[in-house]
Amino acid sequence: MSRFLARTAYAPELPDYELLPFNFARLNEQETVATNLAGEMLVLPNATVDALVNHTLSIDDPAYVSLRARHFLRLPTDKSPIDLLALKVRTRYARLEHFTNLHIFVVSLRCEHSCPYCQVSRQSEDRESFDMTPEIADRALDLVFRSPSQSLKIEFQGGEPLLNFEMIKYVVEQAKARNLVARRDLAFVIATNLAPITQEMLEFCREHDILISTSLDGPADLHNKNRPRPGKDSWERAINGITLARQTLGVDRVSALMTTTQSSLPRVKDIIDIYLELGFTSIFLRPLSPYGFALKTKSFAAYNTDRWLDFYKSGLDYILEINRAGIAFAEDYASLILTKMLTSNDPGYVDLTNPAGIAIGAIVFNYDGGVFASDESRMLAEMGDNTLRLGDVQTSSYEDIYLSDTLLEALESSFTLSVPMCSDCAFEPFCGADPVYHHATMKDFTGRKPESEFCRRNMAIFKHLLRLMSSDKTTAAIFQRWANRC
């Protein structure tokens, strides 16, 4: 018999621990991911989770300290875990009390492009009946300034919003005039294909500190195939526009978004290379959404979730390779998720919020005065589904819009903490409700999650990110940087 006793022999007599609320999901035959109410996460051996729930976990277990530190268990004498968890939960939902921040003004439905995947039905360039009028803009601004949010962002969309630049100028000037009294943190963004941009427009953007967000689908041949316009020069115009906008506004005032079409699938490296060559520090690898022209032209059905996930994972591998070679470059969707996984911040990305971000995070004022719960909601309306049209700026009050039965029903019935499968999903803190997607695909705000492509795509990405993070320390360090970019 040994003269020496084990460490446990010297441990004080501890009472049995109590569990704190958490969910778990099996990652594979060996590992489980567990998350608590605040979204704090641990990857544990399967046996540890079983022992934890059965109250047989030993204080000597390597996971015991982490489980106690991250509030998965507490001793009856511990007082602070409840207060700390409450504080962290409050931080996680802090954005809710600010209410609507993003206000989208569709200043024109006209567009000179005819992209088959376009998510809004566009009209030919010369039909001014599809432009927003000053009366509608004034009434929409009344509603913007009713938001209690200290930060107000106005984003101009289309169609191509630059085709009605006079209305952009009007809204910016009127909003700034109102803000002399309201004193909010006002910001402006123009989402544009940059084809009609002029130096005069850019001077106005500089004067009013307006950000530019443009579309860039990859190399010239792919971009021009995805985004046809008269002259077949969409890419050339976008590149010239990016260069000009950067010269006038500054490099960090111009961002770009890509959309994945069937033609993009074999070319993820080419797409990323173009973003690198142009000096962007990140790329957002985005799938097509089941709305608007993407459905009408069958672009959305051209590839399935598995094929898109292959594309996404190859892209992520390539981006990690670039980072390992010493170039800082991020993938934006992964960054959003990692921010939620690894920090206490919630970036508030509308697809990944609960309650859903419709209306209470972002709202849309259409060119004709229609008010929509989200950009996707107005895309549905262009297809004839007006379910999420919340009112009209000319006839509806703020209360009519934000207390409408349709909006409240969509928010309540998609609330993930009470949705079948979401409510006990370990990935719930990182995911979102997205009632509009489920309404569009299943005619049901809640959605049957076992059959939901939204659920399947996001679950696959969450698990993939966890796998990558645990596979090597360099990747984990890169992901930490992405999560703490802001």
Q: Which residues bind another protein (CB under 8 A)?
A: 18-24, 26, 37, 49-50, 53, 82-83, 85-87, 89-90, 93, 96-97, 420-421, 424, 448, 450-451
Choice between 135 and 424, CB closer to another protein: 424
- Least separation in angstroms between residue 26's CB and another protein is 7
Is 181 buried (19+), middle (13-18) or exposed (0-12) by CB count in 10 A?
Answer: exposed
Please report how many Cα atoms fall inside a 13 Å half-sphere around the Cα of residue 288, on the Cβ side.
30
Task: Compute φ and ψ for 443, nearest 5 degrees.
Answer: 55, 40
SS3 content of the chain, % helix, strand, coil (to 5): 50, 15, 35
Distance CA 457, CA 175 (A): 39
Rounded Cα–Cα distance for residues 110 and 113 (Å): 9
β-pairing, 31-36 with 41-45? Answer: antiparallel
Judged by beta carbon, residue 85 or residue 194, the one nearer another protein is 85
Q: Minimum distance between the CB of residue 461 and another protein, rounded to whole angstroms?
A: 18
Identity of the residue, 146 or 269, whose beta carbon is nearer to another protein in the bound complex: 146
Please state, as a whole number, how many other Cβ atoms lie within 10 Å of the Cβ of residue 166.
Answer: 11
Distance of CA 162 to the CA centre of its chain: 25
Task: Please report how close the Cβ of residue 456 comes to another protein at its closest, in angstroms.
Answer: 9
Q: Residue 94 or residue 327: which is nearer to another protein going by CB?
A: 94
Return the SS3 of 86.
helix
Q: How far apart are CA 476 and CA 467, in angstroms?
A: 10
Task: For residue 325, count other CB atoms closer than 10 A to its CB.
Answer: 8
Do residues 376 and 358 make contact, with C-beta atoms less than 8 angstroms apart?
no
User: What 3-state DSSP class applies to 406?
Assistant: helix
* Residue 393, C-beta contacts closer than 8 angstroms, at least 6 positions apart: 136, 139, 140, 142, 143, 365, 369, 371
162 vs 407, beta carbon nearer another protein? 407
Rounded Cα gap, residues 163 and 201, in angstroms: 11
Minimum distance, C-beta of residue 37 to another protein, in the bound complex (Å):
6
**Residue 62 burial (10 A CB sphere; 0-12, 13-18, 19+):** exposed
What SS3 class is residue 67? Answer: helix
Name the residue nearer to another protein (CB basis): 71 or 139.
71
What's the closest the beta carbon of residue 452 comes to another protein, in angstroms? 9
Cβ neighbours for 317, distance < 8 A, ≥ 6 positions apart = none
- Output DSSP code: residue 17: P
Nearer to another protein, 92 or 267 (CB): 92
Considering the complex, state which of residue 32 and residue 323 has its C-beta at the smaller distance from another protein: 32
Q: Which two tokens stand for residue 243?
A: 């260069």
Nearer to another protein, 266 or 420 (CB): 420
Task: Please state the closest distance from residue 71 (CB atom) to another protein, in A.
Answer: 9
Between 29 and 277, name the residue whose CB sits nearer to another protein. Answer: 29
The rounded distance, in Å, linking the Cα atoms of 193 and 190 is 10
Nearest approach in angstroms of CB 10 to another protein is 30
Minimum CB distance to another protein smaller for 49 or for 111: 49
Q: ω before 159 within 30° of 0 (cis)? A: yes
Shortest distance, position 19 Cβ to another protein, whole Å: 5
Eight-state DSSP code of residue 209: T
| Minimum gap (Å) between residue 89 Cβ and another protein | 4
Q: How far is the CB of 43 from another protein (least distance, A)?
A: 16
